Structure 1
Amino acid sequence: MKRKTSVYDSSKDKTLKQLVKGESPLWIRIVMSILRIWFFIYDCLNYLPYQLFNSPTEKLRKSERVKAKWVDERDGPIRNIDGHASESFPGKDTIDKVWRHCVELYDESPCLGTRQLIEVIEDQQPGGRIFEKWHLGEYTWQSYREVENQVGRLASGFKDLADEEKSAKVVIFADTRADWLISALACFRANVTIVTVYATLGEEAIAHAINETEATTIVTTSELLSKIVTLGKKCPTLKSLVYFQQVNAKAAAPDLAPFREQFKHVLSLNGLLTRNKEILKESTAVKSDIALIMYTSGTTGQPKGVILSHENVVASLCGQGHGVGIIGNTDTYIGYLPLAHILELDAELTCMTRGAKVGYSSPLTLHDRASKIQKGTHGDCHALRPTLMAAVPAIMDRIFKAVSEEVAASPRFMQELFKLNYERKRARYLEGYCSPFLDRIVFKKIRRLLGGKLKGVLSGGAPLNAETQRFMNICMCCPVVQGYGLTETCGAACVADINDMSTGTVGPPVRCSDIALREWPEGGYSPFNDPPQGEILISGENVSLGYWKQPEKTAEDFIMYKGKRYFATGDIGQKRDDGSLLVIDRKKDLVKLQHGEYVSLAKVECALLNCPIVDNICVYGSGLEDSVVALVVPNQKHLEKIAEEEGVDSKDLKTMCEHPKVVAAFKKQLDAHSTKSKLSRVEIPSAIHLCPEVWAPDTGLLTEALKLKRKPIQNAYQSTLDNLYKSLKKN
């Protein structure tokens, strides 16, 4: 492939324009010019060492190398250049076999880490509400061998409970912690199917999953017992309750009396460990057995139970382990996303196949500024110093905005200095050079937000804005790559190459997957376009068996195409020359307006989420209208500034959101950002509504991965959306 020369034009960098606006004083411009001359001299002095020891030409070659190719024809599958594979360790075809092989390989090496809770401080707010603040200590570790000992004993306990019931299933309703994963490994050993549900769900949603799967045992935490007080009465198949001990040992013990009335067995995890003296050393599972029924986050309706076999999970670990490539036995992964989400479960298991250690955290304690961290103490990233982490785009966008706002609030000289260093590192990065001096001096403070040792970040769950990806890449001083996949494909079906210096791509298919692009004439997408485009179809050993008790939906989404079984994703992909894919659209997110124009709602939202005044946004369109409108959750700090500029005295969020002058000024800034983001006339929302309510998973408007639930949002705001269109007609 012919190498393209990288030409960086800082005048086109929207991130820099956002951080530094207007012309600087003369003295600042002179200082910046002197620094640019110094950088030029520095480059001249280091040219030869770079060429000899850290060749930029070689980096660009690795970035642009071909990563996947068509197997046969354009409407056939695309396959990883390294060929097809479905097992990390040949012959280890169940999760338990893979795990036991890892124990033999890594034995006494640290495996799972939990941070000690030293003190809980109750922080009373002016309104009387009390928030807990935690003072946390160091991480304590269990080795692979120690975890294995617990797995064998717990497996005997789960097998005991399972033998009392036919077709026993265990539902895990708990926050991410070591006990969650150990319990899951024990169930895999006992050949007991796990049903996963998110810890933020209400009792009705949990009851739906239990009744649909006829689960017989529920595993939860002491802290969540209050959410399932009447669950036993609603779910007649449930016979046993197993609960994890409280994180805060000084808190009052939970009242177990109501549960003993509903369940045949009520056991702590320690109680289950000692229930059977036998240690179960091997599993009877075969690769076709069901390992998990994993309930999706339900962006388009009622959550579906995705059936995942042992073969699916083993293939996924093989594909992702090869796709990420940089994981080794000296690495530390920080686990804080929900283990009920396939992204986190796969990430942790993949790290363990390479001998890495997993330290547990939560979004509330992740970094020093997290909401549950006591002021003056440190968050989990500081204590753990992870080298690897997974993230969803919403978390990356928050970090991007936090850094942007901090820079924008600094003195003008510091803004210009940051701009100079940022544009220099970006230009050098795109040319294949590293910037060790800037990493140590300028970006060190930002990098410390996530511990300062990261060597790779994988973003998944939703599309990541290209600007956010590049910003994180540069400021965190490590590759930030995207993966693509679904629960139905047991996690990632694509992972971007760690050496790929471009943004926006989700990478080539992982080794266990083949991907086809199916023509969608209505949207104008075809594999015979230039570049090739079409609906993404995924096949391979990682593709699910289907949906639990939903044969019609299974037949609709799992299809035969060109003689092979594929999962039809509904996403529109585009193939690059190097074999990597871009996800450019989604069939369900495309709206055809009154005059025939198509608008991709997700594309518009991805562009506008990067606007500093926006915390969240849902764009809505109707086929009966000629434009789109938007529901916006504003950033309160920026909204207060807009209100002040418009002469509105109130700091009350609801009052500001409803004030016509504030809404008009807010929309003006949003329109300006839309234009900078090169949105077309029909893509720019014609009217907006500012929502004073925060959208969160527990409100039912976002998934656990912080993605929009379009239908619930539409139902909740239908009258508001109707009024927005009515107001446009009046004007």
Structure 2
Amino acid sequence: MPERKKSDAYDASKDQTLGKVVKGESPIWIRIFIGILRVWFFIYDCLNYLPYQLFNSPTEKLRKSGRVKARFVEDRDGPMRHVDGLISEDFPGKDTIDKVWRHIVEVHDESPCLGTRQLIAVHQEKQDNGRVFEKWELGEYSWLSYREVEAKVAHLAAGIKDLCADSTDPKVVIFAETRAHWMMTALACFRANVPIVTVYATLGEEAIVAAINETDATMLVTSAELISKLGAVGTRCKTLHTLIYLPQVDKNAPAPDLTNVRSQFAHVLSWNGLLDRNPTVITESTARSTDIALIMYTSGTTGAAKGVILLHQNVVSAIAGQGAGVGIICKTDTYIGYLPLAHILELSAEMTCLVRGAKVGYSSPLTLHDRGSKIQKGTHGDCYALRPTLLAAVPAIMDRIFKAVSEEVAASPRFMQELFKLNYERKRARYQEGYASPFLDRVIFKKIRRLLGGRLRGVLSGGAALNPETQRFMNICMCCPVVQGYGLTETCGAACVAEITDLSTGTVGPPVRCSQIALREWPEGNYSPFNDPPQGEIMITGPNISAGYWKQPEKTAEDFVDYKGKRYFATGDIGEWRDDGSLLIIDRKKDLVKLQHGEYVSLAKCETALLTCPIVENICVYGSGLEAYTIALVVPNQKHLEKIAEEVGASGSTEELCANADVIKAFKKKLDEHATKNKLSRVEQPGAIHLCAEIWTPDSGLLTEALKLKRRPIAIKYEDTIKDLYAKTRA
């Protein structure tokens, strides 16, 4: 196997971002004006050199960026830990989630805690194809204080305890979208010492039934809007006896029809009914640190979802480690919550913010910004109303913002394109030298920054690898640090978080302070901790590591292993240590394909590079050991697909364009050009492509809730297409 690059981190000399936005040579008058601006910037830098050195030292910023962040405990094949040492609790002695929550209520008391935006009106918008979409008109955020949330938690816990009194091992399934009621219900379950089972709100009846029956759950909490999706869940799940439904978001909508569920459940209550069920309150939990807090089902990227057991001590230590890793969170911050709370990234992010006294305002991917698909034209998205300072995102969402901004710049007049290019390049160069660019932030990038509220001072990307080019673009245009984290459900969230002061890209940072990470040799891929730099399978240990998988002892024994005398979780991801103790994710064992002639190809690496191509909406690269090259299943960007069709003289529906040979040929040519610019080798570039007319979504079963590919379902759905692609190119 050929030796790999030391790092896939961002390299300014290879940045192709502006090449996609600004193409061709500009008129002479524009070049003269841009030249004058360059001279002015040089004079400006000379005049401000001394003030910067005295009051905002770039030298000090570079020192902090390059400082050693983690060190080996002993040998190179052993664990590495953060230089600031290990911690497992934010507050000594507070070793359960409820103890931590009660402590922060006493500290932050009447400070705003959870916020919900008022829905003013729902408009029905008819499309040209006859379909009708809901468009929402939203008002201001209303807030519950920490003390008010605690009062509801105490009453909810009493109601839950009462309804579970006859069960020897009760569990509560939460099947609902992200909202304040979800978090308050979870806190109440932690108070009542009743484990939570999480189920994504987009899943159907079969997935709900499977989770309930596997965990023998006794209570189901869902939204009023999702009751119609339950079908015969109550009759198919023998242990289930209670249904709680959350209030409707649209208060003017008809009340939910409860006829079907009333015949299936012994108890059917509204959330407010549960709140008022028991006049007494529970003010303290009986939970111990070793009790189960959550059974959280993974998103199932490589197979069936597994129920990950998370103990109270896992959650408490993860919150402590992640909070110390991010570092900047404080009580004046506002976090916007819109990712699924059934996903560990969102749950751990919100809990980490609440522990530090920040407030959490709720949103959804469809209402996040002004261009959200559910936002009524002429009104504003949630970021405009909330103006968050902190945001967590998955790479798919970051890539969409990157493409939207790139396309807007490309569609602007030539002069504006050149002006953007000049200022982008200047800020990028200055940023990497440790300098701030306050004037450019206020004048040039202000409009882009306002897409997400205009006040962001930190963005965390997690869930999958973020393209370094996208990371740098977001970092410059959003005028705040954009850092990556790395973790899994089995590690209770982030196991690594890049430091806010780190000016580089591509790294997921050092281990958080509750974890230690070792790299285990994987001979098949030629990865070893004794390589230069050290490489290997990422192994994670610490109090945040899950107790295992629910009712899957064989899989637990396979993934949670003894390594050098400690219990580690074997991630299956391949990492590489930088000299400063930061980790790079360079491969994944299951995504690494050995082709017919012995070449290894990282499918995830290819997809990460190709996803930044404007003509691509989504892509899945497929490889087989029986073939000499990879192929790609591509969901095309509709606007670019139509433009390519126009260029080759084709017309028709989306399905017809995706099947048109001339369109496919022109599309592949553009994709190959993008792959070459992004330094993909010939063997890494797909040898053939198929254009998919269907949009991939979590509802279709082809993406996880974090918008990651589900490779197996995609391969099954397109099995015949894959065979045909290989057969045609061999012919």
The two structures share one fold, judged by TM-score above 0.5: yes
| Aligned pairs (5 A) from 1:282-361 | 282-361=284-363
- Counterpart among 569, 579, 586 of residue 577 in structure 1: 579
Change (3 A) 1:10 1:490: closer
Give 1:11 shift. 6.6
Provide the residue aligned with 1:719 in structure 2: 720
Aligned mates of 2:290, 2:333 — CA distance in 1: 32
Q: Deviations for 1:460-512, whole angstroms, at most 9, x for unmatched residues?
A: 00000000000000000000000000000000000000000000000000000
Q: How far is the alpha carbon of 1:13 from its aligned partner? A: 2.5
CA distance in 2, matches of 1:68, 1:176: 35
Equivalent residue, structure 1, for 2:3: none
- Aligned partner of 2:438 in structure 1 is 436
Aligned counterparts, 1:414-453, within 5 A: 414-453=416-455
Matched, 1:675 2:676: yes
Whether the aligned pair in 2 keeps the contact of 1:10 and 1:423 (CA below 8 Å) is no
Q: In structure 2, how many angstroms separate the alpha carbons of the residues matched to 1:95 and 1:11?
A: 47
The answer to whether 1:632 aligns with 2:634 is yes
Residue 22 (str. 1) matches residue 28 (str. 2): no
Alpha-carbon distance in 2 for matches of 1:130, 1:719? 34
1:62 and 2:59 correspond: no
**Counterpart code for 2:190:** F
Instruction: Single out whichever of 45-54 and 174-183 deviates more from structure 2.
Output: 45-54
Q: Distance in 2 between the 1:525 and 1:161 partners?
A: 53
Matched residue, 1:258:
260
Deviation of 1:148 (Å): 0.2
Matched, 1:685 2:686: yes
Q: Which moved more, 1:453-462 or 1:23-32?
A: 23-32
Per the TM alignment, residue 9 of structure 1 is displaced from its structure 2 partner at its CA by 9.3
1:696 paired residue number: 697
2:366 is aligned to 364
Confirm or deny: 8 A CA contact 2:651 2:657 kept in the other structure. no
2:11 and 2:91 map into 1 onto residues whose CA distance is: 47
- List gaps (5 residues or longer) in structure 2: 1-9
Q: Counterparts of 2:687 and 2:135 in 1: how far apart (Å)?
A: 43
Secondary structure of the equivalent of 2:164? helix
Contact 2:615–2:637 under 8 Å retained in 1: yes
Q: Match for residue 666 of structure 1?
A: 667
Query: How far apart, in 2, do the equivalents of 1:81 and 1:268 lie?
Result: 50
Q: Give the letter aligned to residue 411 of structure 1.
A: P
Corresponding residue number in structure 1 for 2:459: 457
Mapped to 2, the partners of 1:646 and 1:127 lie a distance apart of 25
Task: Give, as a single letter, the amino acid of the residue that structure 1 aligns with 2:378.
Answer: G
Please give the alpha-carbon distance, in whole angstroms, between the structure 2 residues aligned to 1:520 and 1:301.
22
Distance (whole Å) between structure 2 residues aligned to residue 270 and residue 20 of structure 1: 56
Once residues 216 and 88 of structure 1 are traced to their aligned partners in structure 2, the CA distance between those partners, rounded to angstroms, is: 33
Q: Which residue of 2 aligns with 1:184?
A: 186
Shift of 1:10: 7.0
SS at match of 1:536: strand
Using structure 2 for the length normalisation, give the TM-score.
0.98
Residues 294 and 487 of structure 1 are in contact (CA less than 8 Å); yes or no, is this contact kept in structure 2?
A: yes
| Among candidates 153, 168, 171, match of residue 170 of structure 2 | 168
Aligned sequence identity (%): 75
Residue-by-residue CA offset, 1:317-338 (whole Å, 9 max, x unaligned): 0000000000000000000000
Please list the CA deviations of residues 295-329 of structure 1 after superposition, one character each: whole Å capped at 9, or x if unmatched: 00000111100000000000000000000000000
Q: In the TM superposition, what whole-angstrom CA distance separates every residue of 1:606-659 from its partner, at most 9, and x where no partner exists?
A: 000011110100000111011000000011111111111101133x11111111
Residue aligned with 1:262, SS: coil
1:369 deviation in Å? Answer: 0.6
556, 559, 574: which one aligns with 1:557: 559
CA distance in 2, matches of 1:27, 1:129: 49
Which of these residues, 192, 195, 204, is aligned with residue 193 of structure 1?
195
Q: In structure 2, what is the equivalent of residue 593 of structure 1?
A: 595
Instruction: State the distance in 1 between where 2:476 and 2:167 align.
Output: 55
Q: Which residues of 2 match residues 506-517 of structure 1 at below 5 A?
A: 506-517=508-519
Q: Residue 139 of structure 1 aligns with which residue? A: 141
Q: Partners in 2 of 1:577 and 1:183 — Cα distance?
A: 44
What is the RMSD computed on CA atoms of the aligned residues?
0.9
Query: What CA distance in whole angstroms lies between the structure 1 residues aligned with 2:641 and 2:40?
Result: 41
Which residue does the alignment assign to 1:5?
Answer: none
Match of 1:111 in 2: 113
Task: State the Cα distance separating 1:165 from its structure 2 match.
Answer: 1.2
Q: Which residue of 2 aligns with 1:610?
A: 612
The amino acid across from 1:706 in the alignment is: L
Partner of 1:708: 709
SS in structure 2 of the partner of residue 511 of structure 1: coil
Q: Secondary structure in 2 aligned to 1:424?
A: helix
SS in 2 for 1:137: strand
Instruction: Give the drift of 1:127.
Output: 2.8
Cα offset, 1:229, TM superposition? 2.7
User: C-alpha deviations, 1:348-394, integer Å up to 9, x for none?
Assistant: 00001100000000001100010111111100000000000100000
Q: Tell me, yes or no, if the aligned pair for 2:497 and 2:512 is still in contact at 8 Å.
A: yes
Q: Supply the distance in 1 between the matched residues of 2:706 and 2:621 (Cα, whole angstroms).
A: 19
Find the aligned partners of 1:384 and 1:529 in 2 and give their Cα distance.
Answer: 48
User: CA separation of 1:10/1:28 partners in 2, compared to 1, >3 Å: closer, same or farther?
Assistant: farther
Q: SS at 1:291's partner residue? A: strand
Q: Which stretch has the larger CA shift, 393-402 or 22-31?
A: 22-31
Q: Letter of the aligned partner of 1:666 in structure 2? A: F
- The AA in structure 1 aligned to 2:188 is A
Output the CA distance in 2 between the equivalents of 1:12 and 1:557: 38
Contact 1:95 / 1:310 at 8 angstroms: preserved in 2?
yes
Amino acid in the other structure paired with 1:420? L
**1:12 to partner: Cα distance:** 3.9
Q: What amino acid does structure 2 have at the position aligned with 1:386?
A: P
Structure 2 CA distance, aligned partners of 1:234 and 1:602? 39
CA distance in 2, matches of 1:617, 1:11: 26
What letter matches 1:546 in structure 2? Answer: G
- What's the counterpart of residue 94 of structure 2? 92
SS of residue paired to 2:684: coil
Q: Under a length normalisation based on structure 1, what TM-score does the superposition of the two structures give?
A: 0.98
Instruction: Give the Cα separation in 1 of the matches to 2:11 and 2:49.
Output: 22
Q: Quick one: distance in 2 between partners of 1:637 and 1:258?
A: 44
How far residue 126 of structure 1 moved from its aligned partner, in angstroms, is: 2.6
Match of 1:480 among 479, 482, 493: 482
The letter for the 1-side match of 2:123 is I
Check the 8 A contact 2:219/2:243 in 1, yes or no.
yes
What amino acid is aligned across from residue 696 of structure 1 in structure 2?
T
